[in-house]
Structure 1
Amino acid sequence: MVSYSPFVVTGRLLSCALLLVLSLSGHALAENPGINSDERDTITYLVYGAAAEPYQILNPAGLNYPSSGFISDLVRAVFSDSEYRIREEVKPIRRAKRDMLNGNATRWVAYALRSWEEEGVWGDATFAEVDLLDYRLSLMARASTEAPTPERMRANGVVWIQGYRYPGTDDFAGRNGLQFLRATDHRSAVRMVIGGRASYFMEESSRIAYALANLGEDQASYRFYPLDNEVAPTRITLLMSNDLGPGVQDFINQRLRQLQRDGSLQQLAAKYQLQGAVVGD
């Protein structure tokens, strides 16, 4: 007859109990969505609503359907065939930026202007290492409208997208004594120019051209006046929350470099008729 030390029996019982607890814990993690381990692999992609076209184009079927557009297609390409899942969240740009800054948004990716770095407020986020598009502001006016001067801009109005603000634009407005009129999106701004509520629309030229095309307007009937000497050109890139961790951020940077090298970035820009796709070194 084999005898067992009480310490051996107790140890075996403890081991069995521990295995049972671990098994039940694993089952709970799998069943309880509140503690589902998959959440660690879910990344929130912030979409700035209708004001973001054609970088982000809302699905006409509703907000529960994925957006399209240059940035949206690019983000999906970055995370394709990976362990990460994307969850879209649509917010107006002003609210999105506020949530990004005060911590209400977690584990997120968004698009940004490189010039936002000058604001000095993004300590909890990291800008991607890869630039995507050149971003140069222009004033658009009907061909029959005289070229912009400070006096004409003050008298006839300059419209800009609601919630948009970045380095250089305040100085431009101050030098010329401007109070921008605001529109909810690009097509609304173009309609304001067509209807005579404003003579000039300030925005990146290919985004204006996209809005003109969507409204069935002939671009030849409009003139574009570059503002490079007034507002320094910048570039579009991605912005990532630091709670994603360096591993995810490195993954995003590597994928962006790959998409830039193989020409995918340039193809996406051409798909949406965007100018200034940044070619890698």
Structure 2
Amino acid sequence: MKLSPALYSLMIMLFWVQPDTVSAEELSYLIIANQAEPFQINTSNHQASSGIISDVISLLATKKPFKIVPHVMPFKRYNHEIKAKTYTKWISYGSPAWRDNKQVLTQNKRLSKQALFSVNHSLVQLNSDRNTYSNVEDLFGKTVILLKGFSYPGLTTFIENGQIKKVEARSHQSALQALINKRGEVFIEMENRIRYAIKQHSIDQSPLKLTNATNITPSLNIHLSYGDSVSQDTINWIDDQIVIMKANAQLESIINRYQ
């Protein structure tokens, strides 16, 4: 069969279009040191990273030619580098709930349309403490232990007003130890982070009591977040992949690794 010139040209064009051979897009993966487990878990020498967010990004990189370049840093520097635009094409995680009233968005400016998962907060107190902390008003005049630099919707205003005092800890382990040492009445954090820290660091849970803190600081959705220079096409593609990962239970499988 003799091909027409137009059909022949179309076949040649299709032959040379090889989507899988395009050069890898480089993304700086921003990782918070020591405070983001089990979302981001890094080794002591920062040479490897695991955790829910890290595993999701690793899976995405198997489906599209991404070159993921990790950068591990303390949370204060993490925020500074994002504000300073040190990395123009970065990926990390965030939440709409962390966009504060002053609209200092930092890592929460550009979020994936699809949430990865939802998290609840828990309140930890000593079993010897007979007080009940059901609402934020129950914490007035008390000292709350929080992770250094992190935002806690529902608590921030009362802390700034001096109605609630705070002690800041650099890790979940040190926060739990501060509670055991009675440096504060309660420790408030995401439930999965607390339970991961207790298990990972073999902390004796017998003197501790965990209760739901939804009436104090609300549940929130965790999304992937992006720097200004990440293309919208890339973000849209990742959103599609998140839908697929939810449908085929890949995302659930990743989350369950760290329960």
Alpha-carbon distance between aligned partners in 2 of 1:142 and 1:103, rounded to the nearest angstrom: 42
The aligned residue for residue 15 of structure 2 is none
Q: In structure 2, do the counterparts of structure 1 residues 199 and 168 end up closer, same or farther at CA, with 3 Å as the change threshold?
A: closer
TM-score calculated relative to the size of structure 2 = 0.80
Question: Which of these residues, 144, 154, 179, is aligned with residue 168 of structure 1?
Answer: 154
Match of 2:56 in 1: 74
May I ask how many residue pairs the two structures share in their alignment?
Answer: 234
Q: Which moved more, 1:222-231 or 1:170-179?
A: 170-179
In structure 2, the partner of 1:264 is 250
TM-score, normalised relative to structure 1 = 0.74
Which is richer in strand? 2
CA distance in 1, matches of 2:198, 2:106: 38
Alignment partners' CA distance in 1, 2:122 and 2:253: 24
Aligned to 2:81, which of 99, 104, 125? 99
Change in Cα spacing, 1:224 to 1:175, as seen in structure 2 (3 Å) is farther
Confirm or deny: 8 A CA contact 2:119 2:192 kept in the other structure. no
Residue 178 of structure 1, aligned match among 142, 160, 164 = 164
**CA–CA distance in 1 between the matches of 2:230 and 2:238?**
11
Q: For the structure 1 residues 97 and 123, does the alpha-carbon distance in structure 2 shift closer, same or farther, using more than 3 Å as the test?
A: closer
Q: How do residues 48-67 of structure 1 correspond to structure 2 at under 5 angstroms?
A: 48-60=32-44, 62-63=45-46, 65-67=47-49
Please name the residue that 1:234 is paired with: 220
Measured against aligned partners, the alpha-carbon deviations of 1:19-62 in whole angstroms (never above 9, x if no partner) come to xxxxxxxxxxxxxxxxxx96x711001101101111111123x1
Deviations 1:52-88 (A, max 9, x none): 111111123x12x221111111111122142111000
Asked if the contact 1:159/1:183 (under 8 Å) is kept, the reply is: yes
Residue 148 of structure 1: how far off its partner (Å): 4.3
CA, structure 1 residues 133+181, in 2 after alignment: closer, same or farther (shift >3 Å)?
A: same
* Contact preservation (8 Å) 2:79, 2:106: no
C-alpha contact (below 8 Å) 1:138/1:227 kept by paired residues: yes
Q: Is the 8 A contact 1:45 1:108 kept in 2?
A: yes
Larger radius of gyration: 1
2:51 alignment partner AA: G
5+ residue gaps, structure 1: 1-36, 274-281
Counterpart contact for 1:101–1:121, Cα < 8 Å: no
Contact 1:209 1:219 in 2 (8 A): no
Q: Does the aligned pair in 2 maintain the 1:213–1:219 contact within 8 Å?
A: no
Match of 2:199 in 1: 213
Partner of 2:114: 130
Aligned to 1:112: 94
Cα 1:255/1:194, change in 2 over 3 Å: same
1:194 to 150, 155, 180: 180
Higher mean C-alpha deviation, range 114-123 or range 94-103: 114-123
Letter in 2 for 1:238: L
Q: What amino acid maps onto 2:50 in structure 1? A: S
Report the RMSD for the aligned CA atoms in angstroms: 2.6
1:157 pairs with 128, 134, 143, which one?
Answer: 143
CA change 1:140–1:246 in 2 (3 A) is: same
**Higher mean Cα deviation, 182-191 or 130-139?**
130-139
Give 1:14's aligned residue: none
- Work out the CA distance in 1 between the residues paired with 2:146 and 2:61: 33
Contact kept, 8 Å, 2:91 with 2:224, in 1: the verdict is yes
